[in-house]
Amino acid sequence: MRRRAGLLLHPTSLPGPWGNGDLGAEAYNFINFLAAAGFSVWQLLPLGPTNGGSPYQCFSAHAGNPHLISVETLRSWGWLDADPRPGVDARLDLVRHAHVLFRKRNDPTEGMEFARFKQANEHWLNDFALYSALKAAYHQAAWTDWPAPLRDRAPAALAEAHRTHASAVEDVRFEQFVFYRQWHTLKAYAHQQGIILFGDMPIFVAHDSADVWAQREYFQLDVQGHPIVVAGVPPDYYSATGQRWGNPHYDWQAMEADGFAWWQQRMESQIDLFDLVRVDHFRGFESYWEVPAIEETAIRGRWVKAPGDALFQALHQRFDPLPLVAEDLGVITEEVDALRIKWALPGMKILQFAFDGGPTNPYLPHHHEHNCVIYTGTHDNNTTLGWYAGLNEAQRDYIQEYLGGPCEPMPWPLIIAVYQSVARMAVVPMQDILGLGSEHRMNTPGTENGNWQWRFTWDQVPADLAGRLRRMAEIYDRLNQP
């Protein structure tokens, strides 16, 4: 309810000697930088375990990514007996070694903490741990390719699998315990510095996930567990064939029948991780594009109504106020707007989208509203410098004229415009405050290679950057106020 400034950076993009950034010392250094620069929001992408690719295709809606675990922190806890080898990303092997030493330590306080974690998260942890152990046993094959008794969760097969893979299952439980222990310690430190954590929740879940395997009744699947229909978006200006995402669609009737229990549990996990959550593809809660799974593209789909109002009513009764931000980008209908407004959810504005279509373009700052989040761009956009470099001269002239002929070089005029906006929350990607070009973008939608790998280094951060950003936060009433 007050004006804030935030920075968008996924933890994998943090510096460090390992294969990706993690929840160790550099995450704390980053929080210190946020506080020094006047930010009060750290926005992240989904934190779930992936196959090394998109954080929007996770193996679980509840679990954390064990590749974010800091092995240095494990050693500081006394759970590793030697210095980890920087640059050799054997992270999961080291976490399993820590599990062995954890058991040998047999510390009663730590043991009780682990037991409480397992009990509190039993509703998802046991299924996820067995799913992970079975994926490893079957060489990462999708659960639909497992032997039919395991695929279909025959009780005798599950009991035998728990016995056979007991050690691997407990290793996964320990990984999740360590992830959440490190995450909550980091979250507490962020709060001490006046920083709230702004997360991201995809509307759909991956078909090859513990959630779909363990709770098939909530998804539209055939008897072998394959999707009958899949998610996507229809053809538009950007794609003549639309986008076929491949996620299974929910059986909304089954979900509504038990008061949306699946969504209640998912929301509880998100609130445990974050203070605020962006819901990706909010449009799908009002109507979703349903594509027959046999289709190779999204052309032959149809719009189907979703019970979004009933869902948010159920969530609102348990979580009040709803700590959600609606990703309402693209072609949005009056019905979608009405659903967002009814539940008082902030929407999103992207300044890179503002400068075509003339003065009625809703992304232009003079059309912004208080209850929204304004960005220069997101993880799916080009960096602002890269975007601006790709415009023609007439487009650049229009932007300069609209912004009052700024003397600052790009991307600073757009960053300043975001800070000036009446929107209560302004968020800028890390790449933009560093003035980086297209080669540093996080993701290019519709492509498979080179995404989700970008990382920054501290030598890219000018010595005066934090002070400059802090002064901007003061001028535009967005200063961090712990």
The residues annotated with a catalytic role in the active site are 280, 327, 380
Distance (Å) of CA 409 to CA 19, 385, 415, 478: 34, 9, 11, 22
Torsion of CA 166, 170, 172, 176, to 10 degrees: 160
Amino acid at 213: W
At 191, list the tokens: 């709060």
Residue whose C-alpha is closest to residue 377's, from 7, 31, 2: 7
What is the rounded distance in angstroms from the CA atom of residue 444 to the CA atom of residue 435? 18
Q: Which helix (H) or strand (E) is 398 found in, with range?
A: helix 393-402
Say if CB 300 and CB 292 are below 8 A apart. yes
Residue whose C-alpha is closest to residue 201's, from 312, 374, 61: 61
In sign, the C-alpha dihedral spanning 54, 373, 187, 203 is negative
Say if CB 377 and CB 384 are below 8 A apart. yes
Residue whose C-alpha is closest to residue 279's, from 342, 215, 346, 230: 346
**CA 228 and chain centroid, separation:** 26
Up-side HSE of residue 410: CA atoms within 13 Å toward CB? 19
Distance (Å) of CA 387 to CA 242, 381, 407, 437, 456: 23, 8, 19, 8, 19
Locate all alpha helices (DSSP H) within 106-244, ordered by sequence: 108-120, 122-137, 148-151, 155-164, 166-192, 210-214
Distance (Å) of CA 213 to CA 35, 157, 348: 42, 14, 33
At 332, list the tokens: 């949005």
At 380, list the tokens: 């799916």
Q: Which helix (H) or strand (E) is 248 found in, with range?
A: strand 243-248
